[in-house]
Amino acid sequence: MLEITELPVYRDRHLTLLTDLYQLTMMYGQFCVNRHEERVVFDVFYRTNPCGNGYAVAAGLEQVAWYLYHLKFTEGDLAYLRSLKMFSEDFLEYLKGFSFHGDVYAIPEGTLVFPNEPLLRVEGPILEVQLIESAILTFVNHQSLIATKARRIVEAARTNPKHPRSPVIEMGLRRAQNVDASVFGARAAYIGGCVGTSNLMAGESYQIPVSGTQGHSWIQSFPSELDAFIAYSQAFPEETVLLVDTYDVLRSGIPNAIRVGLQMKEKGLSLKGIRIDSGDLAYLSKRARRMLDAAGLKDVKIIASSDLDEYIIRDLILQGAEIDGWGVGTHLITSSECPALGCVYKLVAQEVHTVWEPRIKVSENPSKVTNPGRKKVLRLFVDDHAVADLIALTHEEFDASKPLELFDPIHTYKRKVIENYRIEELLVPVFVRGELVYELPKVQQIRARVDEQVEQFVPEIRRPRKPHEYHVDLSQELWDLKQTLLHEWRTP
Amino acid sequence: MLEITELPVYRDRHLTLLTDLYQLTMMYGQFCVNRHEERVVFDVFYRTNPCGNGYAVAAGLEQVAWYLYHLKFTEGDLAYLRSLKMFSEDFLEYLKGFSFHGDVYAIPEGTLVFPNEPLLRVEGPILEVQLIESAILTFVNHQSLIATKARRIVEAARTNPKHPRSPVIEMGLRRAQNVDASVFGARAAYIGGCVGTSNLMAGESYQIPVSGTQGHSWIQSFPSELDAFIAYSQAFPEETVLLVDTYDVLRSGIPNAIRVGLQMKEKGLSLKGIRIDSGDLAYLSKRARRMLDAAGLKDVKIIASSDLDEYIIRDLILQGAEIDGWGVGTHLITSSECPALGCVYKLVAQEVHTVWEPRIKVSENPSKVTNPGRKKVLRLFVDDHAVADLIALTHEEFDASKPLELFDPIHTYKRKVIENYRIEELLVPVFVRGELVYELPKVQQIRARVDEQVEQFVPEIRRPRKPHEYHVDLSQELWDLKQTLLHEWRTP
């Protein structure tokens, strides 16, 4: 059994009660009819990409693993449940011995994923698998959302022909929806491609590079802006970035920064950058660049912040802004345009007399009908390009040496035959019978995976609005099974 | 010195590094020039009400108090800071002895607050007061945001003439931006007027009533919907609420619920309610009400959920929906329409030779110019109705027996004289020289305070769009000071 490294962010956390009461009432209900050890399968999936994006970046699995690994009911938890006066002592006694004995298959963090694909498949006794629904969804929804949003912003910053790798720094702590949103959000932002964070707790937990210089209060607390700049450059001679917008960017901030930059140059040091945090960033950055260049300070970088998002960054670049790096806060750390990803957790199979029987959830809304059965997700590559994902039943085998016909599961007349393809199976075992069997990658590896993944797809999926829609198809056998179950439901 | 009760949500948390790197670089910079013990005053305030609301509900102070009370640098924290290779050993040694010695004045949680008012005034040595900026803003921004959003939703539910107190339950855990967002969000939602939460960790931490019944997986896991309903009613005979939309609300869910309701009635029990979680809630609830009534089940309540917010709730009520209770998730727990409140933390005064000198931050954007000096916030009541808030300097005295002329700080020709008024001072001492002097109220008291507060204002401030704008004025002396400082800045 693999072990979990205790990161500072998890220090002594105990999250067993991080669940909805209805999980406990359902667990108790199953216990009352003695069905709580019946094995079931649940899928975690979402139905729409966040922010109208062409994909999502899977993230949050580390948190799921930490949670399942430590899951148990303490005396305190049981005392609270007892106080609700809803559960029998037998049941509470049963919970004393609770731990997770199930199997979890998951798509690794940093993988590009698409609507309706199981990101996780969770199998085990219904009592255990029910408890964990809420927390798993919380972790996966939050981190996948922020990783995706971060990627959108990083892609925007990369549209700059003059600075194709201009870095994005996450600095949203003060606008994050509380502590964990800031720390796990900074982690997800780094996975999505940010180069660092302002958040020290995230930096400590995940060895994410941290950055930060000074705020307006630093400038205000000195008799003059120039005094403040000089004091900062003396404290951090190697890392001097000066905030130039406390009073007046063009008449005061940049002239003073140039004075300090020239003084540093004389001493063999160099001013690293300036930061503009208000005003018109396109106009000010172009003026700033000219002023710095004219003073012989061509190497001084211009960093911009101030309510940025992927749209504003694109527009600033289109207008020729001279910005070398971006600090992004609110819109990144909250994914303000779409602050929730809608992963759900749906029962897809149930063991009856040692046989897995598929289950379906019908709905008035056809998009909410689930894909039944124990499933796997296959990514199909032709010439090293991902051409489609195929959701199939776990027992299905595909012979990649033979042509494969794919079809749209809704508009089934849309068909395509692929040949000479390669299959990558996306779901990997993480827990087997309650034992952790997956070595959790470091966040740096996950971040690198996103960069690799993005290159596997046509670039049109990266358009921020109305991107190309990547195909996620069902195997013929899964499609047939779904139709059969729907038909059975309609004709009782 | 008062003590802090350790709630489960805070168990063993250590949050000293929950700060932005730039706080540490500024602290180090002040340490280098030996100014780190100079005393300064910072204000916490926001510039725009969230979601276009007419006010915000102050929340998050408990978390601020917990944080400041426990603030110290551990060896682990210092090891991490050392690893950044940015700070001298002298400085790290100094941090070993760090604790908070400052003063905090705050507007109590549950108070209605308005733009530009200091919600907190923090005074102390600059090194200490700088460190805590990020965490204080995170706590206050998040909880005030969610409390305000919750209030909007609760006000919407109260527009129902048939059910003027129809309850709202917070059930957004799975869509929350990670753990703390769910727990402190549930707390804030309860403060805003929700009657309970689905989140057990929040329930345990704050004795918030918890509620929950069953999800679709419960129904799916039984051979039939009726079997599932019966099993649930046997496990929870006193608290049976049945989810009726797994297959078909009108043809299956409600008829089965009626069967169970009638069976329970025969046994002297009663079906408490049904829950509809998809489909058209106005249409389905009206049909459901008629079907239940016709079966003699007039007391069975109808609970609705499914992507609700304040606008949809209002519209459903306007269309005569027969809904007795509301379960609200995503839009509440993320405040999806406006997922961040923009409180800032600005230097307003600095001690120079034992005298507080006011500080101002000028800006290209006039709305971002700060109000200088050590200030208090006075709420003025005439006939027990709040008529305006007045921001004044701390030393100013007002004689309520004499008329007071108020004026709009921007459009100064707009003036009003009030007489026979009563003054309530909103900022109360929370920490004095680092000692906690404020008895933190229970969340139930804070929740009651919101209800009382709301009644003190004209109801027009509660309109969800384009509400009446409540006046927040500056005292003549403060206004004059601001103009003087702006004038000094312009004419050096």
In degrees and rounded to multiples of 5, residue B48 shows phi and psi of -140, 135
The two tokens of residue B233 are 């009613």
Q: Shortest CB distance from A347 goes to which of B200, B220, B248?
A: B220
Of A333, A354, A372, which residue sits at a domain end? Answer: A333
Report how far residue B310's alpha carbon sits from residue B321's, in angstroms, rounded to the nearest whole number: 14
pLDDT confidence band for A313 (50 / 70 / 90): very high
Q: Which DSSP category does A366 fall into? A: G
User: For chain B, what is the largest distance between any 2 Cα atoms, rounded to a whole number of angstroms?
Assistant: 88
**Which amino acid appears at position A380 of this protein?**
L
Answer yes or no: are the C-beta atoms of B207 and A83 closer than 8 Å. Answer: no
Q: Which residue in this structure is represented by tokens 């990161």?
A: A7
Answer yes or no: are the C-beta atoms of B417 and B476 closer than 8 Å. Answer: no
In degrees and rounded to multiples of 5, residue B438 shows phi and psi of -115, 125
> Residue A207: pLDDT above 70?
yes
| CATH of residue B284 | 3.20.20.70
**Which amino acid appears at position A351 of this protein?**
E
Residues of B in contact with A201 (CB under 8 A): 15, 17-19
pLDDT confidence band for A253 (50 / 70 / 90): very high
Helix, strand, coil shares of chain A, percent, nearest 5, are 40, 20, 40
> Is the same domain home to A356 and A464?
yes
Cβ B216–A346 below 8 Å, yes or no? yes
> How many domains would you assign to chain B?
2
> Is the same domain home to A434 and A454?
yes
Strands A325-328 and A168-170, sheet pairing? parallel
Answer yes or no: are the C-beta atoms of A241 and A261 closer than 8 Å. Answer: no
Task: Output the DSSP codes for A297-320.
Answer: -TT-EEEE-SS--HHHHHHHHHTT
For residue B40, the number of C-alpha atoms closer than 13 Å in the C-beta half-sphere is 27
Cβ B203–A126 below 8 Å, yes or no? no
Strands A428-432 and A196-197, sheet pairing? unpaired
> Residue B6: pLDDT above 90?
no
Of A390, A340, A396, A348, the closest CA to residue A369 belongs to A348
Cβ A173–B235 below 8 Å, yes or no? no
Which element (helix H / strand E) includes A57? strand A56-57
> Residue A217: pLDDT above 70?
yes
The two tokens of residue B289 are 């009400």
> Is the same domain home to A314 and A353?
no
Report how far residue A347's alpha carbon sits from residue A374's, in angstroms, rounded to the nearest whole number: 10
Residues of B in contact with A173 (CB under 8 A): 18-20, 134, 138
> Residue A4: pLDDT above 80?
no
What pLDDT shows up at residue B8?
A: 77
> Residue A492: pLDDT above 60?
no
Residue A18: closest CA among chain B residues belongs to which residue? B201
Cβ B213–A335 below 8 Å, yes or no? no
> Residue B213: pLDDT above 60?
yes
Query: Which residue, among B14, B21, B346, B348, would best test binding to A if mutated, counting the most A CBs under 10 Å from its CB?
Result: B21
Q: Which residue in this structure is represented by tokens 């689905």?
A: B198
Q: For the segment A423-453, what is each residue's pLDDT rounded down to a tens digit?
A: 999 999 999 999 999 999 999 999 999 999 9
Q: What percent of chain A has pLDDT over 90?
A: 93
Which element (helix H / strand E) includes A78? helix A75-83
User: Residue A22 CB: number of other CB atoms within 10 A?
Assistant: 25
pLDDT confidence band for B492 (50 / 70 / 90): low
Of B273, B305, B333, which residue sits at a domain end? Answer: B333
Query: Which residue, among B7, B22, B256, B330, would best test binding to A if mutated, counting the most A CBs under 10 Å from its CB?
Result: B22
pLDDT confidence band for B1 (50 / 70 / 90): low
Answer yes or no: are the C-beta atoms of A43 and A118 closer than 8 Å. Answer: yes
Of B167, B177, B222, the closest CA to residue B197 belongs to B167
> Is the same domain home to B187 and B64?
no
* Cα dist from A79 to A13, A94, B399, whole Å: 18, 14, 55
What pLDDT shows up at residue A491?
A: 66
Q: Which domain holds residue B75?
A: 8-131+343-490
> Residue B491: pLDDT above 70?
no
| CATH of residue B29 | 3.20.140.10
pLDDT confidence band for B355 (50 / 70 / 90): very high
* Cα dist from A481 to A306, A441, A474, A488, B218, whole Å: 52, 36, 10, 11, 22
Query: What angle (nearest 5°) sits at the alpha carbon of residue B191, between those of residues B190 and B194?
Result: 35
pLDDT confidence band for B3 (50 / 70 / 90): confident
Residue B250: closest CA among chain A residues belongs to which residue? A364
User: Residue A397 CB: number of other CB atoms within 10 A?
Assistant: 5
Instruction: Give the closest-approach CA distance of A400 to chain B in angstroms.
Output: 36
> Is the same domain home to B96 and B124?
yes
Q: Which residue in this structure is represented by tokens 């063009």?
A: A250
Answer whether residue B338 is part of any domain: no
Cα dihedral sign, A82-A86-A89-A90: negative
> Residue B9: pLDDT above 80?
no
Q: How many interface pairs between A and B have CB atoms less than 8 angstroms apart?
A: 332
Report the DSSP beta bridge partners of residue B484: none
> Is the same domain home to B348 and B449?
yes
Residue B366: closest CA among chain A residues belongs to which residue? A279
Report how far residue B208's alpha carbon sits from residue A78's, in angstroms, rounded to the nearest whole number: 17
Q: Which residue in this structure is represented by tokens 């997700």?
A: A377
> Long-range CB contacts (< 8 A, 24+ apart) of B295-298?
B295/B258, B295/B261, B295/B262, B296/B262, B296/B265, B297/B258, B297/B261, B297/B262, B297/B265, B297/B271
Instruction: Give the closest-approach CA distance of A197 to chain B in angstroms.
Output: 8
> Residue A163: pLDDT above 70?
yes
Q: Shortest CB distance from A217 goes to which of B8, B130, B218?
A: B130
Cβ B11–A8 below 8 Å, yes or no? no
pLDDT confidence band for A1 (50 / 70 / 90): low
Instruction: Give the closest-approach CA distance of A67 to chain B in angstroms.
Output: 11
> Residue B85: pLDDT above 90?
yes
Q: Shortest CB distance from A178 goes to which of B42, B142, B338?
A: B142
Answer yes or no: are the C-beta atoms of A211 and B170 closer than 8 Å. Answer: no
Task: Output the DSSP codes for B343-412.
Answer: -EEEEEEEEETTEEEE-----SSGGGPPPPSSEEEEEEEETTEEEEEEEEETT----TTS-EEEE-SSST
Answer whether residue B257 is part of any domain: yes
> Residue A364: pLDDT above 80?
no
> Is the same domain home to B91 and B189?
no
Task: Count the helices and strands in chain B (H runs, E runs).
Answer: 16, 21
Q: For the segment B414-461, what is each residue's pLDDT rounded down to a tens digit?
A: 999 999 999 999 999 999 999 999 999 999 999 999 999 999 999 999
Answer yes or no: are the C-beta atoms of B202 and B187 closer than 8 Å. Answer: yes
> Is the same domain home to B260 and B405?
no
Answer whether residue B141 is part of any domain: no
Tell me what the pLDDT averaged over chain B comes to: 96
Report how far residue A461's alpha carbon sits from residue A466's, in angstroms, rounded to the nearest whole number: 9
> Is the same domain home to A109 and A195?
no
Query: Which residue, among A16, A19, A20, would best test binding to B if mutated, counting the most B CBs under 10 Å from its CB?
Result: A20
> Is the same domain home to B359 and B289?
no
A287 Cβ contact partners less than 8 Å away, ≥ 6 residues apart: A250, A254
> Residue B108: pLDDT above 90?
yes
Q: For the segment A92-135, what is each residue's pLDDT rounded down to a tens digit?
A: 999 999 999 999 999 999 999 999 999 999 999 999 999 999 99
> Residue B362: pLDDT above 90?
no
Cβ B339–A342 below 8 Å, yes or no? no
Chain centre to alpha carbon of residue A333:
11
Residues of B in contact with A175 (CB under 8 A): 137-138, 141, 340-342
Would you put residue B62 in left (φ > 0), alpha (ψ -120 to 50) or beta?
Answer: alpha
> Residue A415: pLDDT above 70?
yes
Residues of B in contact with A179 (CB under 8 A): 13, 15, 18, 138, 180
Answer whether residue B184 is part of any domain: yes
Q: For the segment B457-487, what is each residue's pLDDT rounded down to a tens digit?
A: 999 999 999 999 999 999 999 999 999 999 9
For residue A68, the number of C-alpha atoms closer than 13 Å in the C-beta half-sphere is 35
A335 or B7, which is more confident: A335
The two tokens of residue A483 are 């139709």
Q: Which of B65-79, B132-146, B360-374 is predicted with the least confidence, judged by mean pLDDT?
A: B360-374
Residue A63: closest CA among chain B residues belongs to which residue? B178
Cβ B17–A204 below 8 Å, yes or no? yes
> Is the same domain home to A248 and A379?
no
Cβ B212–A76 below 8 Å, yes or no? no
Q: For the segment B293-315, what is each residue's pLDDT rounded down to a tens digit?
A: 999 999 999 999 999 999 999 99
> Residue A369: pLDDT above 70?
yes
pLDDT confidence band for A165 (50 / 70 / 90): confident
Residue A130: closest CA among chain B residues belongs to which residue? B217
- What length is written for chain A? 492
What pLDDT shows up at residue A11?
A: 77
Strands B273-276 and B241-243, sheet pairing? parallel
**Which amino acid appears at position A348 of this protein?**
V
> Residue B383: pLDDT above 80?
yes
Answer whether residue B148 is part of any domain: no
Report how far residue A336's alpha carbon sits from residue B86's, in angstroms, rounded to the nearest whole number: 33
> Residue A470: pLDDT above 80?
yes
Answer whether residue A140 is part of any domain: no
In degrees to the nearest 10, what's the CA dihedral of A216, A221, A227, A231?
-80
Q: Which residue in this structure is represented by tokens 């939602």?
A: B189
Residue A208: closest CA among chain B residues belongs to which residue? B84
What pLDDT shows up at residue A365?
A: 78
A94 Cβ contact partners less than 8 Å away, ≥ 6 residues apart: A31, A36
What pLDDT shows up at residue B120?
A: 98
* Cα dist from B111 to B84, B121, B150, B482, whole Å: 41, 16, 14, 27
pLDDT confidence band for B11 (50 / 70 / 90): confident
* Cα dist from A115 to A28, A47, A119, B306, whole Å: 33, 5, 10, 20
Tell me what the pLDDT averaged over chain A comes to: 96
Q: For the segment B18-74, what is each residue's pLDDT rounded down to a tens digit?
A: 999 999 999 999 999 999 999 999 999 999 999 999 999 999 999 999 999 999 999
Answer whether residue B139 is part of any domain: no
> Is the same domain home to B192 and B326?
yes
Of B279, B302, B333, which residue sits at a domain end? Answer: B333
The two tokens of residue A330 are 């609110």
The two tokens of residue B418 are 């009030």
What pLDDT shows up at residue A9?
A: 77
What pLDDT shows up at residue A85?
A: 96
**Which amino acid appears at position B281 of this protein?**
L
Cβ A220–B361 below 8 Å, yes or no? yes
Cβ A21–B210 below 8 Å, yes or no? yes
Answer whether residue A137 is part of any domain: no
Cβ B26–A218 below 8 Å, yes or no? yes
